[in-house]
Homo-oligomer: A and B are copies of this chain.
């Protein structure tokens, strides 16, 4: 089995000498230890790898340079001085596990390292984060059958799900250059769209701007071109997960997407949360991969006993919205929905095995989007398209404002959390982005 196991680093009783990591509501207790790329905000310092602990960032290269890491953990970090986690990702699970164990021991309450390690902490509030990897290729999947059905119903009321959906983990290539990190501000895109009453299309600002609640899945160890990764080895090529909002221009998409798929409706901006929660940290939140009665079994190349037992991930996901007016009146974000990644129709191992079955090479730092994670119930749509029934039934917010689609000034925040009885709950931090007005050339 190539999936990371539960070990002493997951012990619910572990506490850290970093006090904020012991608060019940923190996303980053000592059982999490997610990795990111940071520098001191407002500085011209080089971006470098860090681990989140409570409300602090631990500077990993500073620790290494001070001789504070185990040999294995120091080796795991070699090459990460380039401002990305790619070199660590390339080494595979052994390296991230060594780093995790070293950090867990050094941050533990009573650790002898506390005096030296304290000086390598920076409050997260004073850190500027970067996209944690150089994403070579980004692939967006479509793993929620609830999302695919809801969206399909708008186009084909009698036949919402296409015949291939239950067999193929549907995915398409996405744009890597416009992926930013939480805190992203982006202009409402211009694009061609055609209203039903128009004879020909018009270039104008997007009128149906939306978010998509997704998970980002980072590839670790690469596979060579021409060499598929079988299910039994797929988990060994995964590094970790983050939150991912794949902003979408629905009107541009509707006009452009046939026959080759979405293009400019997606490539103007996307946003990841800055912290990658490693596959090691997620070990307690694995759960059985189960499908509803009557669904077909996956083809053999997408099936394995381990995947059936524990291929899925129990991660609760949420979308929060703050309008310009709410912000100006000091009101926080309002939660719009909740869903869970365990309801995905395909597991992360299946996505990787499928992606490589044709021989496609995945490189360290490549990212998959999970596709919009909508749940089975009403109100669990992972996009405004679903929650507002294509804009026909605008959401009414607590302050009386209405939203069919996003308005300028709207801030969308994704949240995610792993929870399981007997284990410390861990979170993903925030994935936030805000819409700015369109760029209108003079």
Contacts and interface: CB of A to CB of B under 8 A. Distances in A.
A142 B261 CA distance: 12
B263 A172 contact: yes
A256 B354 CA distance: 12
Contacts of A174: 173
B261 A358 contact: no
Interface string A185-220: 011011110000000111100000000000000000
A423 interface: no
Contacts of A186: 225-226, 359
Oligomer: number of copies: 2
Interface residues of A, number: 67
A252 B358 contact: yes
Interface string A248-268: 010010011111111111011
Given A136-B177, A357-B191, A441-B230, A262 B264 contact: no
B228 A358 contact: no
Contact of A177 (B187, B262, B361): B361
B439 A263 contact: no
Nearest to A354: B264
Nearest to A136: B177
A360 B175 contact: yes
20 contacts: A136-B176, A142-B260, A152-B259, A162-B258, A164-B258, A167-B201, A172-B262, A173-B173, A186-B359, A187-B226, A202-B299, A203-B300, A203-B301, A203-B357, A225-B269, A227-B439, A257-B259, A264-B354, A264-B360, A265-B358
